[in-house]
Amino acid sequence: MKKLFLLGFTAFSSVLNVLAQDNAEPHLKNLKQLTFGGDNAEAYFSPNSKKISYQSNNKRWGLKCDQIFWMDLKKPIKDSTGKSPMVSTGKGRTTCSYFMPNNKDIIYASTHLKHETCPPEPMSTGRYLWAIYPEFDIFIADEKGNIKQQLTNTPGYDAEATVSPDGKKIVFTSTRNGDLDLYTCDIDGSNVKQITFQSGYDGGAFFSPDSKKIVFRASRPSTETELQDYKELLAKGLVAPTNMELYTCNIDGSDIKQITKLGKANWAPFYHPSGKKIIFSSNHHSPKGYDFQLYMINEDGTSLEKITNNSLFNAFPMFSPDGKKLIFSSNRNNGGTRDTNLFIADWQD
């Protein structure tokens, strides 16, 4: 019996070793969970790498839809429920926050001027759809929530704003021309320029470390049927994000290049500190679609590498400006719930 037990234990140990190897994430060291409960996403570092902004809909905090928060990574300020200081007004729905160059102010999109409460989510139609609320405008607020500037006031969706590392430019997505295209402006909101012009959803844009390029996700309807479907959904304030690839361009929109040709949903791209690689989330490997892992790829589209291998959802990766950390959202360690939390790790090349 003892021999049989040892043989069984050895076999079991071998299985565990295989699982450990399969689940290995060698680029991520000292992984730490930052939030506990609800859906927490789009966490982005301040320029000095000391703080993050993020959005959450944690019901324990009395939230019914996403609001914007910030956290000091060394000395987190939280109440008894784990709630961080809230930046947004608490009205309407918010999305896509990002620290400004002064490490204190935060840019984000909100519907609070038109909605006291959360606007309705898309009705279930058997398709996964994102709402493109035309009431979204972009604001800049301080860490106490005082709004210092309304950056956009044009009709239609204005959101997904991020700031260049050199502190000179902002890129955002807008429907002001009737399509979902990328625009840039100076850090004070002046000098607005459209930089993408092809039909389809262009969004989730981030600057390269040298502030000379932009990486973004895009859908590109390739047939008349696909284009008609895209336009009909957009007219209803909706977009189907199930077929997107990654692109780069110069900050003036020139030299657009398609980076991925993987199929399905490739999104949430962010430049590696070297400026030569891009980390992103993808479900291209998944037969059923709902299995998003982080991948990294060279800027020329070569050398695809899988970064995460735990849980079924990993997205919104961002490297700290000093290149030492990676933060991302994941539904790992959620006790079998649907919670998505923030995780931070030391990055190992």
pLDDT digits (tens, 9 = 90+) for 242-289: 999 999 999 999 999 999 999 999 999 999 999 999 999 999 999 887
Q: The whole model's pTM is what? A: 0.92
Closest CA to 246 of 226, 222, 262, 230: 262
- What's the CATH number for 27-347? 2.120.10.30
Q: What angle do CA 27, 33, 39 make, to 5 degrees?
A: 110
Two structure tokens written together for 177:
């021309």
Mean pLDDT of 202-226: 98
> In sequence order, which residues have a C-beta less than 8 Å from that of residue 335 and are 6 or more positions away?
none
**Dihedral sign, Cα of residue 211, residue 316, residue 120, residue 201:** positive
pLDDT at 77: 85
Whether residue 337 is predicted with pLDDT greater than 60 in this model: the reply is: yes
Extents of the domains making up the chain: 27-347
List pLDDT tens digits, range 172-196.
999 999 999 999 999 999 999 999 9
